[in-house]
Structure 1
């Protein structure tokens, strides 16, 4: 046990923890983006609100969510520890900084990570916390005729404060009553400063993942002459381009289209 503890208290051990938690967070980003793309459906928020309700009321997903929160904290904490240790190891900077082949992102991972951590706090307090723990998010009622697939949407006011959601069927009509997170998203994305913060954070995410995804594989020793170039391309196009652009597109589209 002492050897195990010693390993993960070492610099290499801390980097392994950073790599593992980072790859888990990369997986989450793919799933989260896929779910948030429901915002682009022209259905008055039905798909997105049902998705948000599922995330906050399905026990296995809730367990994974708390693991995610723990991994975010661990990832940020170990990043801070490694940064401090690196500075202690070289308290005096070189008088002349030699040219380095390392990318701008790799040199500024601390700055990028700080921007992302601040964004996560703002993002979760504005959406997740208000959705789950306050009464500032209203409700929507969706009535869908299962035969014709026609749907009507109205605001819903529950009789009890304990009400969270309901799914019923009345004479071939599916009645879904859920919190209207879609409206909260629309309101937040109508504010230029919030959209700007969101876009800047996605820029930071792009540079962070451009270095972090490939670095995690190298730290874990998962390198191969044949497969490393594939990993690098996935890191560039999926994690540094597609995912940040996908997230950034949401506030931009909502701001200019006024959904």
Structure 2
């Protein structure tokens, strides 16, 4: 057990944890974005509210509890491992290369996305806390669709994004998400030892596509609501 523990908490082990949990979080963000895209459906929030209701009540609420517990663990391991690796690398004269790849001494790929990973990551962590507080622990209005009462989270989103300051802050944070994914996505594969000279180019290009698509998808939401949604027609039959 001590050998396993020492390997997990070694520099390579923590980088692998960061990479694996990072890819899991990319999957979560993808699913979350797909759910948020229902906000574009012109049905007064029916699809979005129904989606949120399903998540909250599936398997009598146990599914969302299990998912949230797992997600919290993934977030926790990702943050602790990433911050520890960054702190360790900063204290050393030269960052420790990845033991499982061949380009440890190769061409440097440092840039704004890579050098700002801790800043963007911690900013995103603060955003997640505020986001969860807003949608899970605050009081919400209710709405009734087909005789079923549910939280009117669509009205909450519209009310928030109709405030330019909140919409602007959300846009800024989603821009940081794009920067974080730009470096984090391909480096996750590198951390797991799946990266090599032949795969480097395609992974870099895939990281660009993923970061742009995710950032653009999330950026479009507040801008669409701020400029094109009439708050007077949000919600259903109360």
Deviation at 1:24, TM superposition (A): 0.1
Distance in 2, matches of 1:228 and 1:109, equals 19
- Give the equivalent residue in structure 2 for 1:203: 175
- Give the equivalent residue in structure 1 for 2:129: 121
In the alignment, structure 1 segments of 5+ residues that lack a partner are 92-98, 131-135, 144-174
TM-score by length of 1: 0.77
Greater Rg, structure 1 or structure 2? 1
2:164 corresponds to 1:192: yes
Please tell me whether the aligned partners of residues 127 and 185 of structure 1 are also in contact (alpha carbons under 8 angstroms). no
Q: Secondary structure at 2:72's aligned position in 1? A: helix
TM-score by length of 2: 0.84
- Give the equivalent residue in structure 1 for 2:101: none
Distance in 2, matches of 1:224 and 1:88, equals 27
Distance in 1, matches of 2:113 and 2:222, equals 24
Of stretches 198-207 and 56-65 in structure 1, the one that deviates more from structure 2 is 56-65
Deviation at 1:198, TM superposition (A): 0.6
Instruction: Indicate how the Cα distance of structure 1 residues 6 and 107 shifts in structure 2: closer, same or farther if over 3 A, else same.
Output: same
Instruction: Indicate how the Cα distance of structure 1 residues 9 and 100 shifts in structure 2: closer, same or farther if over 3 A, else same.
Output: closer
Aligned residue-pair number:
215
Q: Which has the higher strand share?
A: 1
RCO comparison, higher one (Cα < 8 Å, 6+):
2
Deviation at 1:103, TM superposition (A): 1.7
Deviation at 1:72, TM superposition (A): 1.2
Q: Which has the higher helix share?
A: 2
C-alpha RMSD of matched pairs (Å): 1.9
Deviation at 1:66, TM superposition (A): 1.8
In the alignment, structure 2 segments of 5+ residues that lack a partner are 95-106, 231-238
Which residue of the other structure, out of 176, 180, 191, is the alignment partner of 2:152?
A: 180
Of stretches 228-237 and 40-49 in structure 1, the one that deviates more from structure 2 is 228-237
2:232 corresponds to 1:258: no
- Give the equivalent residue in structure 2 for 1:57: 57
